[in-house]
Amino acid sequence: MKVEEVVEIVRLDPNEVDGLVEAQADIFADYIIPFRSSRKFFMDFLRSVGGRIDDIIVAKHQDAIIGYVNPVIDGNEAWIGGLGVVPSFRGQGIGRRLMEAAEEGARLRGVEEIILEVIEGNSAASRLYARLGYTEARKYLSAEGKAAGFAGFGNRPNRVRVEDIVEVHRASYSESCWQRRKAAALEESGRTCEIYSVDGGFVMLRRVETTGFIPFIGVLPQRRSLGIGTSLTKFALNRLWELGAFNIAIYNVNDDLATRRMLDKFDFAVTIKQVEMRKSVATSR
């Protein structure tokens, strides 16, 4: 029997989230970044990207979930918040069928462009996306560095609430990766982070065990190259040091000269690069 007949592509039944999480354990067991999902992790992630359980599409074989795609629809654009097929079912066109179903569903909801990110070096996924017509748009970096007891970061930034930095986030993140520029991600980080602001910029930080995270640092476009970013970074590294973090992780910052110089200044080392790919799915095609 052909694989198209025995593997069906259907919407996720909201009662089957545990089956999806189980499949993810298998899908991501050999992933480039070690990653273990749980029901809570997945639901938090979904909320942080503004996704919906009933937009998820799964591949099923004899009632077991063996693949999924998570299209997050936002107005006239959609973002792929995860795609995977369990190893024993790869190379049979299931990844392609899942993506095509996601594209079709998105198109019917008025989506004109689909955006996704793929880790540089994930050749199976990159080839699939390229074959489906996605083209490279830009790159993002993730990096790791150290917390440090900096002095001289200027005036201490003010501790603020997430509502206070919504505008500066919107203006400073308009040219950043899909996830970071969305208000839902900011709000979700706001639940767990300390937030500080200065005139023209803000930073969010969080310690988890010995690792410090800087999920957001933004400076208004018209206030750049004045040392605000450097000063906020010094403050954040100092604050995380005070909080007891050693290693610092920064995810998906733009791969541009200004950001690279900033990372170099604080001895951050790039850990992974992500490639943003886009495809137009406007109905006129």
Ligand X SMILES: CC(C)(COP(=O)(O)OP(=O)(O)OC[C@H]1O[C@@H](n2cnc3c(N)ncnc32)[C@H](O)[C@@H]1OP(=O)(O)O)[C@@H](O)C(=O)NCCC(=O)NCCS
Residues of the shown chain interacting with ligand X in the complex, contacts defined by CB under 6 A: 27, 31, 83-85, 90-96, 118, 122, 124-125, 127-128
Residue showing the smallest CB distance to ligand X in the complex? 95
How near is the Cβ of 141 to ligand X at its closest, in Å? 16
Q: Which is nearer to ligand X, 90 or 278 (CB)?
A: 90
Give the three-class secondary structure for 28: coil
Q: Which is nearer to ligand X, 116 or 217 (CB)?
A: 116
Q: What token pair was written down for 193?
A: 């982070």
Quick one: which H or E segment has residue 236?
A: helix 228-242
Strand ranges of the sheet holding 201-208, from the earlier edge strand across to the other edge:
7-11, 57-61, 64-74, 77-85, 113-119, 269-280, 135-146, 247-254, 211-219, 201-208, 194-198, 158-159
Q: Which is nearer to ligand X, 122 or 247 (CB)?
A: 122
131 contacts 96 by C-beta, under 8 angstroms? yes
β-pairing, 77-85 vs 113-119, is parallel
Q: Which is nearer to ligand X, 84 or 145 (CB)?
A: 84
Q: Which is nearer to ligand X, 87 or 227 (CB)?
A: 87
How near is the Cβ of 115 to ligand X at its closest, in Å? 12
How near is the Cβ of 176 to ligand X at its closest, in Å? 18
How near is the Cβ of 82 to ligand X at its closest, in Å? 7
272 contacts 33 by C-beta, under 8 angstroms? yes
How near is the Cβ of 119 to ligand X at its closest, in Å? 7
What are the distances in angstroms from CA 162 to CA 1, 18, 192, 283? 55, 32, 11, 37
Q: What token pair was written down for 21?
A: 């999480």
How many residues does this entry show for the chain?
Answer: 285
Q: Which is nearer to ligand X, 124 or 148 (CB)?
A: 124
How near is the Cβ of 200 to ligand X at its closest, in Å? 35
219 contacts 200 by C-beta, under 8 angstroms? yes
